[in-house]
Amino acid sequence: MGQNTVILKVALPTPLRRLFDYLPPKTKTEQAILPGVRVQVPFGRRTLVGVVMDIAQESEFELAKLKPITALLDETPLFPKDLLTFFYKAANYYHHPIGEVVFSGLPQALKQDKKLKTPKAVPESISQTSPYQFSPEQDKAITNILAQRDHYATYLLQGITGSGKTEVYLEIARQLLQTDKQVLILVPEISLTPQTLTRFEERFGGQVASYHSQLTPAKRRDVFLNIQQQNIKVVIGTRSALFLPFQSLGLIVVDEEHDPSFKQQEGFRYSARDLAVLRSMLLKIPVILGSATPSFESLHNAALGKYQLCLLPTRATKVALPKIELIDVRHKKLKSGLSAALLDQIKKTIAKKAQVLLFINRRGFAPVYMCFDCGWFAECPNCESKLTYHLSKNKLICHHCERVMFLPSQCPECKSEALNAIGQGTEKVEEAICQAFPNQTIARIDSDTTRKKGSLDTLLDQAHNHDAQILIGTQILAKGHHFPHLALVAILDADGGLFSADFRAQERMAQLLIQVSGRAGRVHQAGRVLIQTFHPEHPFMSQICSQDYSQLAETLLAQRQRSHLPPFSHLALIRANHTQTELPENFLMQTQQSLKTQYPDGTIQIKGPVPSPFHKRQGRYHYQLLLQAEDRKSLHKAISYSSYLLESSKLGRKLRWSLDVDPIEMI
């Protein structure tokens, strides 16, 4: 090729794990094409939008076979160079097609072959100094982090619930904004975005924007472009906000860093927490991982010295942590999951004009609908799961594929009419509480009552303003919310994770119980937490009552180390599914046999293939193959080899398969 030949290396939104070579347009243009711009290209019989990732002078293909791009869509790069490097490294780590990685965070409006419009102007900015009086621990954390503002460092900010972690974020952000830096605050779920956004807007005004999946396409596009043009300085967003084109990013915060919602569970299966650390490393800026109950991986990294631990051991209001007590419900009669002792405590709390939260992490009326005569269960025909009875809709709903079915008038098996709903969810608890306390305002907050736009904000306002005396909810209420009038938290079904086969079950159970307990007594006086349990003598329960999360984590981490489980080893999961059960099993069996031949020394442990815990979902049969190694580098070599096997397999073209590096869900 000639010395002046220009080859455009283009990322396209396809499952192929490579860049594609194109030539500049045939029409003469004096405008240089730079990495980071969008282009329109021919791709087979289609026309696609791609992103130029690099400019080369050589191609592995003959020049005559390369096609020119059909249009240049951007005059200047949409992505800065550091973000392109970040895309490469993320794709390599997760062994995912580079084009899908690049396009995963791109707003829908920018995936189209249209030139950019000028985004809507943002309001004028304000920046206020907080009147807040920092504790010595907060002041120390702020000073330490700002001292490293021009260097990469990961800080694990472990602060008990109500310790003022957000005020630490706000103060560091304020000082960075004064030097014209941008700040990214990642939150695990949309429900937490509005309240965090409000606190930052009160301090920084129009410099702040939110970014999440429920924004309109036009709003997502405007936020993206205003970030790129540095009109917005602070973004509060869910995991996709990590891919925004910040030009002068000075800090990333991952709030509630332990939350599983930071792991994308389909498509590009990345951990936003881990990629936040990577992006900070590339930019040489600090990243803060904040939580009252840090993930065991983060605690392990802090113990190894990879992360710097900052502790906030006291509440900002000086109010003591709530007292946690167990209610032994063995041999007790429960009404819709409520013990007489708990109902009595609810009555006493309401009499004091205080607020109550009843927590049960299961929506619907009852998780099982069955025949008492023959034992038949209502099951989803598409999934191997029981249908949940929803009283408000008077229907059976599958919580895996959302299939809706009418209630049968008689048992399909024995024709009996002895059909009953078993167990309880939020609806059933609400019904029982309405009967027990008919004169009280009750707010149920779960994914069923918050589907409509604005409904969550309305319900949270009721809770914050004490318009509702009794709150009933799922994990939507467990984290981040501040209810100033809440005095009693009751956890109705706390035993779910004690005997689970999932090695992370007790970690997650501890995080959930401590997080929801932390909603109580945050302002005026110490609150109370009551946990109903059938296993009050279990060692886990006594550790929860002591509220010593660090000690609990140390105990469980020691168990993990003895069992060679993460974070003391590393995992990858290969999943496959098809409408015919034998195809994914045979496909993964071929992969397993090749891997065992490649790694006969046992450096890579290969477990399976086995049916997934939910074997049948949405009419498809799911199997999985687990790879495990104590050395991360060895595991990634095995994953690369597996990718080659999976992509070259003829059987693999007949089914769906995926790679999940560092999986946190085994279903």
Write out pLDDT tens, residues 618-656. 889 999 999 999 999 999 999 999 999 999 899 989 999
Q: What is the mean pLDDT of residues 403-427?
A: 88
Cα separation, 621 vs 382, whole angstroms: 10
pLDDT at 377 over 60: yes
Positive or negative torsion for Cα 517, 518, 523, 525: positive
Supply the pLDDT for residue 646. Answer: 92
Q: Cα 610–612–617 angle (5° rounding)? A: 140
Supply the pLDDT for residue 1. Answer: 46
Assign 486 a pLDDT band (cuts: 50, 70, 90).
confident
pLDDT at 582 over 90: yes
pLDDT at 47 over 80: yes
Instruction: Kindly report whether the peptide bond that precedes residue 408 is cis, defined as omega within 30 degrees of 0.
Output: no
Supply the pLDDT for residue 523. Answer: 62
Assign 213 a pLDDT band (cuts: 50, 70, 90).
confident
Cα separation, 318 vs 164, whole angstroms: 11
Q: What is the mean pLDDT of residues 362-378?
A: 86
Q: What is the mean pLDDT of residues 99-107?
A: 94
Mean per-residue pLDDT of the chain: 90
Please name which of 595, 578, 581, 570 lies closest in space to residue 646, comparing C-alpha atoms: 595
Q: What is the mean pLDDT of residues 511-534?
A: 81
Supply the pLDDT for residue 667. Answer: 63
Assign 472 a pLDDT band (cuts: 50, 70, 90).
very high
Cα separation, 369 vs 349, whole angstroms: 34
Residue in the structure block whose two tokens are 């007489």: 340
Supply the pLDDT for residue 113. Answer: 82
Assign 525 a pLDDT band (cuts: 50, 70, 90).
low
Cα separation, 184 vs 208, whole angstroms: 10
Assign 3-class secondary structure to 580-602.
Answer: CCHHHHHHHHHHHHHHHHHCCCC
Please name which of 339, 441, 434 lies closest in space to residue 392, comparing C-alpha atoms: 434
Please name which of 174, 167, 125, 126 lies closest in space to residue 146, comparing C-alpha atoms: 174
pLDDT at 515 over 70: yes
Supply the pLDDT for residue 247. Answer: 95
Assign 29 a pLDDT band (cuts: 50, 70, 90).
low
Cα separation, 390 vs 291, whole angstroms: 34
Q: Percentage of the chain surpassing pLDDT 70?
A: 96
